[in-house]
Amino acid sequence: MSSTPRATPQRLTLEEKVWFDRRRKDIEYCSGVGGAVGAAITAAITILGPFPKRVQFFAIAGGIVIGGGTGYLYADNKALERVQDLSASSNLRKQYQQIEMEKKAAKTSK
């Protein structure tokens, strides 16, 4: 029972929702592919060498973690590039709308 009002949650725009969904899907996909590639590479390397099963297991697990982390970072980097593109297009859209409003204002004042 505090006297401070609750902050209303900020609603996301459609572009932001699409960006979040796409980012989540990219991260899931790239992390999975990265983990699979990491596991395949480390499995191939450890199977060819004279390593005990325990070392092979931990090497493959490490390859999964490293590959998954690399995939996550790659997908997150792609999402950041999309944010920059989205921000640039949003600024251009605002500038275009401002120019159109100025044109309409100039026509109505004549």
Q: Is residue 8 part of a domain?
A: no
Residue 11, in any domain of the structure: no
- Residue at 34 is within a domain: yes
List the domain range (segments joined by +) for residue 33: 24-109
Closest-CA residue to 34 (of 3, 1, 2, 65): 65
Q: How far apart are CA 14 and CA 1, in angstroms?
A: 35
State the DSSP code for 6.
P
Mean pLDDT, residues 3-21: 76
Would residue 3 count as lying in a domain?
no
**Is residue 109 pLDDT above 70, yes or no?**
yes
Sheet strands (E) in 34-108: none
**Residue 17 within any structural domain of the chain:** no
Count of CB atoms within 10 A of residue 87's CB?
A: 10
Q: Is the confidence at residue 1, as pLDDT, over 70?
A: no
Q: For residues 47 and 55, what is the distance between their CA atoms, to the nearest angstrom? A: 10
Query: Does 6 map to a domain?
Result: no
Mean pLDDT, residues 45-64 taken together = 91
- When divided into structural domains, the chain yields a total of 1
Q: Answer whether residue 19 is part of any domain.
A: no
Q: Would you state the pLDDT for residue 41?
A: 93
Q: For residue 71, how many other CB atoms are within 10 A of its CB?
A: 23
What are the pLDDT digits (tens) for 19-49?
A: 888 889 999 999 999 999 999 999 999 988 8
